[in-house]
Amino acid sequence: MSTDANYRAAEKLLRRPVSPGELVVGNQIRPQWIEGTGRFWYKVATGTGTQFVLVDPAAGTREPLFDHGRLAVALAAAAGQPVDAEALPFGTIVLRADAVEFLAFDGYWRCGLDDYRCAPAEFTPPANPLDVPSPDGSVAVSRRGPNLWAVTGDREWPLTTDGEPHHQYGTSPESLGNGTLLRKFGIPYLPPAVAWSPDSTKILTHRTDERDVRQTALIESRPADGGAPALHTQRYAYAGDAAAPRAELVVLDVATGTVVHAQADPLFAPTASPVLGRSAWWADDGSAVWYLSQTRDRRTLSLHRLDPTTGEVATVLTETGDTRIEPNQWLYEPPIVRVLADEVLWYSQRDGWGHLYRYDLHIGALVDQVTRGPWAVRQILHVDKDARVVYFTAAGLVEADPYRRSVCRVGLDGAGFAVVTDDGLDHVVTMPADRAWFVDSASTVDTAPVTTVRDWAGRVLVELERADTGKLEALGWTPPERFRVKAADGVTDLYGVLYRPHGFDPDGRYPVVDSIYPGPQINRVDPCFDQGGTGLDAEPLAALGFAVLAVDGRGTPGRSKAFHDASYGRLSEAGSLDDHVAALRQLAETRPWLDLDRVGMLGHSGGGYAAVRAMLDHPEVYRVGVALSGPHEPRFFSLDFVEAYDGAGNPDAWARSSNVDIADRLTGKLLLVHGEMDDQVHPDHTMRLADRLVAAGKDFELLIVPGAEHLFIDCLAYVRTRCWDFLVRELMGARPPAYRPAPIVLDPDLLGDLFA
């Protein structure tokens, strides 16, 4: 039974992904590189406040960025306010050569780092965050309607003049433009999708053509100004639509105003800018632009060279296949491709695993396979051109968990393969621009991270943080259990995590919630300690007294090509729901405290689709479901997602994937939740499903949240509390407690991640 105390603990755990450091001290490190020095600084939660730390990897030192005690005394004297050195009244600073500046006590302050004198300072507005500055800082690119402008301190001038609505420069397609979120935060538009040449003279961008793309609409019942309902239109291509967004690459010369158009067909770009998605980039010396193109059926991937002076395009190499040819199994991660002076490192799954192949850059011929084995390259980190060695992360080299990432190296000729971080942990890597070393966070799902700076031999130069989970454990949290079971085929190994309920009693019987995200573009379970956004629901549900399962079934990324291709043309299986059922039954054989007579599923977005599908396809197992923001009708959903994973030109598969068409199968208890202004998965998906359920005489609950977008950013606590209440009533058979969590205020430092 869930009590006020359970809900208070769940509330704190719900805040954890959006408030790093609140419950786990020393967990997430965000290096701030100090240009030209080889050093960086970061801030870290101490449990009582925030500490600012300076790191010099070359010297192997970690020390306070400034004297927190002296600064506190000086600020208190200047402001006439008490200041605690352990909890300074600011969380963000601007670091100058001889001072730090910050906002505190309703004013802007400057504190010298030599004499520690603090005084009110004239606030110097930062450069417009919606502009993109050149590498040398001399000029920035700004959006003005459908065109791009150059801006310096004393003048501005147009770089393009022929942009028009839905045929404009430097914009991403509207389907993932986050228009609702931008309006909520008062942001008029996103920064332009541009990439500066290394010498700061030219800009790579594209002209996005959505003139013929389907126009959809959302109605905002109560706009922010309180006026009449407002109509918001959006260009959004559905599966099978003839017209899809296209991106014509262009190079702009800032000084001369020359516009060079790529002499090639515009790129198929249904949801993402090729520049922001890093599938178009400058050569290191600025002599060329390299870019990838993919056919609409995703079965052909090519690398091209664009001459930025003439616009001439040459195709370097092409790969084709019977299913998707992907530059990366994870849709939102950069392509695993690196162009060198005379050769190309090319990612391919042609041998059944994701490996690097070396091609001759000039004739496009395959030279050799660089990596090989039953494991997959995850990311190219660094190429030492002199030593002719490539460093990369790979998954599948740790026997205990094939998802854990290891830092590896191998010669460009395929010789000398070695694992640099050979400790069996999962490694998440961050690097400075010069790749002189890397910041390494090593953890597992049940081992808190240790963050260090390492050289490319794997030696630790300086230890930064050891995460402390004491405050988390004080809430009743215990680490999730990593498990391995067999898939429904009885052969394939599956991996997941199981969260025990708070106050766990091995002699008890606990209802189970399957916290699902079915991919196929990302995983539900990461191999590291922090489960991130897709783990938003598991920990709070465990605090309420549920046993919580999370598993990656066949069809999700991270393993072999065959494992991922299990979803191709079979989105209707929602990441293999058969595998989820098999996992539940195997776990219950050795854990009798799992009550399989009381099983529910909760999921958001693709997980919302899966929650409904589970109840329709496996009603004997899933008796309760909560579906948030679910794309229940693929025929009216994103062309990019549906065609990539169910196949282009495959309406039979799209029909099989429709939850709406089989809604009359519902027998359990279902809660549907959708944001009125969801511009990623339009609310008509849930309304279409609700309409069919009504026609079939089915009992269900429906919550349409006014003004809410896909993530429920400004009403997250309210929406999740309603979900908790439903599960407590329907799975526990109990009345939810009276306690209501307070609204969640997003950490300002995380705002940029929403639009990354």
Assess if CATH 3.30.365.10 describes domain 485-736. Answer: no
Query: Which run of H or of E encompasses 472?
Result: helix 470-474
Q: What percent of the chain has pLDDT over 70?
A: 98
* Confidence (pLDDT) at 224: 85
Distance CA 370, CA 603 (A): 40
Distance CA 460, CA 450 (A): 11
**Ordered strands of the 405-411 beta sheet:** 376-384, 389-395, 405-411, 418-419
The owner of tokens 């516009």 is: 259
Distance CA 344, CA 292 (A): 13
3-state secondary structure of 471: helix
Distance CA 113, CA 743 (A): 38
| pLDDT band of 726, cuts 50, 70, 90 | very high
> Is pLDDT of 253 > 60?
yes
Q: 302-306: long-range contacts at Cβ-Cβ below 8 A with a sequence spacing of 24 or more? A: 303/337, 303/339, 303/344, 303/346, 304/264, 306/249, 306/251, 306/262, 306/264
> How does pLDDT run across 672-697, given as a tens digit for each residue?
999 999 999 999 999 999 999 999 99
Secondary structure in 3-state letters for 574-633: CCCHHHHHHHHHHHHHHCCCEEEEEEEEEEECHHHHHHHHHHHHCCCCCCEEEEECCCCC
Q: In the numeric block, which tokens belong to residue 28?
A: 């997430």
Query: Which run of H or of E encompasses 149?
Result: strand 147-151
Beta strands in 273-329 (DSSP E): 280-282, 289-294, 300-306, 313-320
Asked if residue 513 lies in contact with residue 488, where contact means CB atoms within 8 angstroms, the answer is no
Distance CA 431, CA 391 (A): 12
Q: What is each CA distance from 425 to 404, 422, 443, 445, 649, in whole angstroms?
A: 7, 8, 6, 10, 42
The owner of tokens 């961008």 is: 205
Kindly state the average pLDDT of the residues 337-353: 97
Distance CA 375, CA 450 (A): 25
> How does pLDDT run across 624-635, given as a tens digit for each residue?
999 999 999 999
* Confidence (pLDDT) at 266: 98
The owner of tokens 């799992």 is: 594
* Confidence (pLDDT) at 251: 98
Distance CA 510, CA 514 (A): 13
CA dihedral sign, ordered 231, 234, 237, 241: positive
> How does pLDDT run across 446-470, given as a tens digit for each residue?
999 999 999 999 999 999 999 999 9
Distance CA 305, CA 204 (A): 13
* Confidence (pLDDT) at 745: 72
* Confidence (pLDDT) at 16: 85
Kindly state the average pLDDT of the residues 221-250: 95
| pLDDT band of 17, cuts 50, 70, 90 | confident
The owner of tokens 């929403």 is: 754
> How does pLDDT run across 558-591, given as a tens digit for each residue?
999 999 999 999 999 999 999 999 999 999 999 9
Domain parsing of the chain, residue ranges:
32-120, 485-736
Distance CA 645, CA 574 (A): 11
> Is pLDDT of 754 > 80?
no
Q: What are the phi and psi torsion angles at 3 (to 5°)?
A: -115, 180
Q: What are the phi and psi torsion angles at 499 (to 5°)?
A: -100, 125
> How does pLDDT run across 367-426, given as a tens digit for each residue?
999 999 999 999 999 999 999 999 999 999 999 999 999 999 999 999 999 999 999 999
Q: Which amino acid is at 149?
A: W
237 DSSP assignment: P
Question: Does residue 520 have a cis peptide bond before it, meaning omega lies within 30 degrees of 0?
Answer: yes
Asked if residue 176 lies in contact with residue 187, where contact means CB atoms within 8 angstroms, the answer is no
Secondary structure in 3-state letters for 643-689: HHHHCCCCHHHHHHCCCHHHHHHCCCEEEEEEECCCCCCCCHHHHHH
> Is pLDDT of 126 > 90?
no
Q: What is each CA distance from 71 to 44, 62, 488, in whole angstroms?
A: 17, 19, 61
Kindly state the average pLDDT of the residues 250-273: 96
* Helices 716-727 and 4-15, packing angle to 10 deg: 140
Average pLDDT over the chain, rounded to an integer: 95
Q: What percent of the chain has pLDDT over 90?
A: 90
> How does pLDDT run across 284-333, given as a tens digit for each residue?
999 999 999 999 999 999 999 999 999 999 999 999 999 999 999 998 89
Distance CA 435, CA 366 (A): 27
Q: Which residues pair with 498 in a beta bridge?
A: 481, 549
**101 alpha-carbon distance from chain centroid:** 31
> Is pLDDT of 1 > 90?
no
* Confidence (pLDDT) at 746: 65
CA-nearest of 248, 260, 279 to 168 is: 248
* Confidence (pLDDT) at 19: 77
* Confidence (pLDDT) at 244: 97
Question: Does residue 480 have a cis peptide bond before it, meaning omega lies within 30 degrees of 0?
Answer: no
Distance CA 117, CA 427 (A): 42
Distance CA 741, CA 23 (A): 17
3-state secondary structure of 458: coil
Q: Which amino acid is at 492?
A: T
> Is pLDDT of 507 > 80?
yes
Distance CA 369, CA 384 (A): 18
Asked if residue 450 lies in contact with residue 551, where contact means CB atoms within 8 angstroms, the answer is no
> How does pLDDT run across 527-569, given as a tens digit for each residue?
999 865 556 899 999 999 999 999 999 999 999 999 999 999 9
* Helices 606-617 and 577-590, packing angle to 10 deg: 70
Q: What is each CA distance from 263 to 33, 148, 170, 390, 645, in whole angstroms?
A: 38, 21, 18, 33, 30
Q: Which residues pair with 144 in a beta bridge?
A: 147
713 DSSP assignment: G
Distance CA 293, CA 304 (A): 8
| pLDDT band of 756, cuts 50, 70, 90 | very low
Q: In the numeric block, which tokens belong to residue 640?
A: 């990019």
638 DSSP assignment: B
> Is pLDDT of 211 > 60?
yes
* Confidence (pLDDT) at 36: 87
